[in-house]
Amino acid sequence: MDDPLFYPWLEEVRVRGESGETQVEGAVREILREVRSKGNEALLEYTRRWDGLDVSSPEDLIISKGEMEVAYSVLPAQLQDALQEAYRRIRTFHEAQREQSWFLYEPEGTILGQKVTPLDRVGAYVPGGRASYPSSLLMNVIPAKVAGVKEVVVCSPTPNGKVNEALLGAAYITGVDRIYRVGGAQAVAAMAYGTSMIPSVDKIVGPGNIYVATAKRLVFGVVDIDMVAGPSEILILAEDGASPRYVAADLLSQAEHDVLASAILVTPSHLLAQEVAKEVEVLLEDLPTALTVRRSLDSYGGLVVCSSLEEGVELVNQIAPEHLEILTKDPWRVLPLIHHAGAIFLGHYSPEPMGDYIVGPNHVLPTGGRARFSSPLGTKDFLKYSSVISLSMETFAALKSRVITLAQWEGLPAHARALEVRK
């Protein structure tokens, strides 16, 4: 098997979407400058121009907690139940990630440790309009609340003034403090720099279009961001015995996100690959999103037949997929061999959409091979860590001469003197 990194199709999958960021960067920089200098005036203008929402006052862009409560109350009972169950499970999972301050106590009286502190304020971007996902709000807001963030604000566009009640309902049950009817790169700019209406935040999280993603990348350093996210992707590692229909359905579930999504099957079975291809065509026949799915599969999909399951695992680790399904006879035996994947789904009854919505782990995951060095969004992403040093006189005396030696060696005499003046 050749090194998969040299497969031309694999490199196309890896870099898909990157050229788009370059093309819009100039426009995004201009939006950032306008919002930074003109504040609410720029927000009102961009909201009128691109969202078709013409309001006279910045306060008209605010959705209050009371409005969220009303929106939740009119949702169908079945949807309320689904949102509440998702909230409960996601919160329980992220509560298990909580971290506490800790300290080491040395015999001489020295105390060393780490102080864990939640961020003060976080901004979550939630897409509006056609791609308005309550699940994204749950996944971005809940870990921040669990971490103890004091204030979480949300920016979400409402094209032509249309509000997504399910999104507001999700915001209500998660305890969002305020929602602003602001979208696009201008929302990112407002959360990063602050206006008289939207406060500046410490971190911006949440998905968005190419303008939002580029804006987040450009304001990184002014604020923190969750990650540089690219188009969605799934890789399924399967062998004989896997259900071709299950595999095909799971590939389509990811390919329908958008035309840049990637869905790949890796298997040592020629027969399984052939059967999956047939099932894909059957399932596409009555799928409302078939056009998007077919464009995605034609451009960035793949049925890869390798010579062995071990080589399949090697390919998985080279791709480092956002979502990985392992549909083998013993997926737990394969799990220790996987080094790079955002979320790993084991067995036929752990399909990727369960992770998107309700089981608990976060669906904000590294894409584009970044699972080699990045992790899913979690409670820790909303915490800061400060080192704590309290030396006793005895420890200071024992270490003093060594520190002076190191400081003098590095040519920093004032460092050494700060110790020498202490008797």
331-362 pLDDT, tens digit each: 999 999 999 999 999 999 999 999 999 999 99
Residue 228 above 90 pLDDT? no
**Strands, DSSP E only, in 207-301?**
224-225, 233-238, 262-267
- Looking at 15-29, 68-82, 231-245, which range is the least confident one? 15-29
Q: Of the residues 257, 323, 340, 363, which is catalytic?
A: 323
- Examine the residue annotation and report whether 257 is marked as an active-site residue of this protein: no
Residue 68 above 50 pLDDT? yes
- Examine the residue annotation and report whether 415 is marked as an active-site residue of this protein: no
Query: What 3-state DSSP class applies to 220?
Result: strand
Predicted local distance difference test score (pLDDT) of residue 22: 75
Whole-number mean pLDDT of the chain?
A: 94
Predicted local distance difference test score (pLDDT) of residue 195: 97
Q: Of the residues 279, 322, 325, 352, which is catalytic?
A: 322
Residue 1 above 50 pLDDT? no
Residue 4 above 60 pLDDT? no
Predicted local distance difference test score (pLDDT) of residue 12: 72
Percent of the chain topping pLDDT 70: 95
What are the chain's domains? 18-225 (3.40.50.1980), 231-371 (3.40.50.1980), 391-420 (no CATH)
Q: What is the mean pLDDT of residues 376-383?
A: 98
**What tens digit of pLDDT does each residue of 186-220 get?**
999 999 999 999 999 999 999 999 999 999 999 99
Predicted local distance difference test score (pLDDT) of residue 16: 72
**What tens digit of pLDDT does each residue of 259-294 get?**
999 999 999 999 999 999 999 999 999 999 999 999
